[in-house]
Amino acid sequence: MSHDPNCIFCKIVAGQIPSKKAFEDEDLIVFHDIQPWAPVHVLIVPKLHIVSHADLGPEHQSLAGKMMVLAPKLMRDLGVSGGFRTLINTGRDGGQEVMHLHMHVMGGPRPWAKG
């Protein structure tokens, strides 16, 4: 599996940096954001180091689909019932801060309205 030794998310995947995990399987790790924008804010991160959404190819179709299908299940499991928001920032101009593909999933009252 591809890994970037300088990537903070790769270090979380490898267990070198602790995180508050919400889910993990052979393909994905999900952990709570350390600077949440909503009452429930998790990041769905592939264990495979893919730089951004723009770098997804046909070979990643099932992985990307798995991320999308996991989001509503996680929100239900975490007690979110009134709706949620998914967000994938892509590239520097798209607001991506960590250059490892990840999906923000935010739930709770008005998760898009950062105070």
- What is the tens place of the pLDDT at every residue in 88-114? 999 999 999 999 999 999 998 765 665
Query: 58 lies in a domain?
Result: yes
With respect to residue 60, please indicate whether it lies within any of the assigned structural domains: yes
Secondary structure (3-state) at 23: strand
In a domain, 95, yes or no: yes
Q: What CATH number does the domain containing 16 carry?
A: 3.30.428.10
Question: Phi and psi dihedrals of 24, rounded to 5?
Answer: -160, 140
Q: What confidence tier does 5 reach under pLDDT thresholds 50, 70, 90?
A: confident
Does residue 3 lie in a domain region?
Answer: no
Residue 52 structural domain: 8-107
Asked whether the beta carbons of 41 and 33 are under 8 A apart, the reply is yes
Please indicate, yes or no, if residue 114 is contained in any of the structural domains: no
Q: What is the mean pLDDT of residues 18-43?
A: 96
The reported pTM is: 0.93
Active centre residues (catalytic): 102
Domain count across the chain: 1
Given the structure tokens 């892509």, which residue do they identify?
90
CA dist., res. 108 & res. 80, Å (int): 6
